[in-house]
Structure 1
Amino acid sequence: MTAVSNGNALLIQVLILLLGALSLVFSWWAARAASPVIAIFGRWIRWFFIASFAAGLLQVTGWTGYGFGTLLIVALLLFFVLETGYNWLAISALSKSELPLFPKFEINERGDEWPSNPAFIKLKGWLRQSGFQKRQALLSMLGETLLMRVSVYENEEQTLRLHILFLPNARGNTASCFTFYSTTQSGEAIVTDNIFLPFGGFYPESWEVERQPWIRSIDRLLQRHRARIDAKGEALMPFLTEPIEQINADQRTVEQLNRELGFLHTPAEEAEQGRLTTAGRARIWQEVWTLAYLGLSLKYS
């Protein structure tokens, strides 16, 4: 085995301890802040910590004759294989579970349920200052289990809808995602959001969907949406249907399209093979990784 100087060995040990401490800090920080951006950095740190720890352990025990650098690369690749394999199994389980891929929404009889923390108080203030008015509070349920809450707002001209998604995490904190939605006179839908949940499927050709998970500021996301509207150069149509009707109709449209394009199995095939086709699972599998580590979504067209 290649000898390693005491100085290099100490440096490697310090590096591993530092990565371990940073991994714990970022894990706690991401959960507390409910921030997908912080979580991305935390996953990279965790990846390098686990790989460094494994490489260091192999070198100290003398099981191989390779240097730390080579062992680190092998451990990084092995972690990638194991994690992506786990993701594939999780997606396969999702395909056969009762969890709806295109959930149906209903009116939230309790109205808006906003977490009482400074970030959401600031968001409420921004909505008032920007002229957005509340339209409806919606939720999606699976039996007695709450899947998602959505608050829908509109601008004064009723040409721009904002969907605020409230997503609880395992630590009891709540993350928020925003979707801006407008329709042009020619019937095209312009959608700009910062959702960080994988979808992997397809949207209708008349929808121009842009996903920006890195943009967590609602003001910056609105600026991006308006820039896309200006680039389109068409007047916008006011919304004529209630949010709940539009959302549920859109869900049905997207589900049918993805069945036609081979993302979903037919109803007759679902019982035996699950809802997702192999191609559908592969697209979600790919997007799980790109969102988790790069903050990038797939092309949905």
Structure 2
Amino acid sequence: MDANPIANAITQGFNEVLTENGVDVVRSLAVDPTTGNIDLAVQSQALTRAVSANPDAIAYFVLDPTASRPQIEQAKEAGIPVFAAFGKPDFEVNGYISLADEAQGYAAAKYLADNLPEGAKVAVIGGPATPNVLAEEAGAMKALEEAGVEIVGDVEQQRNLADNAAGGKEVMQGILSRFPDVQGVFSYNDDSALGAIAAAKQAGADVAFTSRNGTADAVGAVQAGDLLATCDLQPLEVGRALGRAVLAQLTGERDYQGTEEIEGPTSDACLVTAENAADWKSPEDQIDFVDITLG
């Protein structure tokens, strides 16, 4: 997930906590180098390498709650603590941290609906069907349905599997070809929204957008008037919370067992809008990003 700024920021926050306490961190990517898409097989291969290296702990992003069970079970059998981010897997790990996915999707989609006329036509750009994305989409759909807007298209046919701006632009072009009068779009992440905004501008379409993640480019788009709002995930704090849990496990301060949930930042006041964008700071402005060894 190297192209994903949120995954990178989470990793940087995680790395900060551990390296400050003398723990070496090695990262692997779950991306097919040929297609650039997230690939579960690539992640499973990386986890196999990790188990073989016999580390003191493993942390990984849950891209599919059922994926990589053999590797995780092998790690547990070897006595290696395993921690999960982005959701709860369908099998036992020591601990996991989730984002406030549904609440954040709800907040961003509600803000979109509140800024559109009653009965406006709204589409949803979805992402790879990971647990956190599906929960976010559920929250967004709930907000849009409650607002009484007309939801056009099918999110299952509007997923940006590339998880980047180029993929978002392509999905938006498809939406505009089918629904040229669409008035609003909720996007599961900022990069997809930025690509969709570019497609709308290219087509001369007047469309309002909200999204989630709180990236620097998205906040810039809010300030420019291209994006109504983005929900800041506070990825550094997510990574730091995960790092503190792993550190507590390693030092014996706490023994996480039975897939315990790790508390992360809440969704309260997550929206970055034109009213507060000037006060926002990017993860890169909060800490120095460093190169993390790949393995």
Where on the TM-score scale, by shorter chain, does this alignment land: which range? Answer: under 0.3
State the structure with more CA Rg: 1
Normalised by the size of structure 1, how large is the TM-score? 0.22
- Higher percent of residues as helix: 1
Could you say which structure has the greater relative contact order, defined with CA pairs below 8 angstroms and 6 or more residues apart?
2
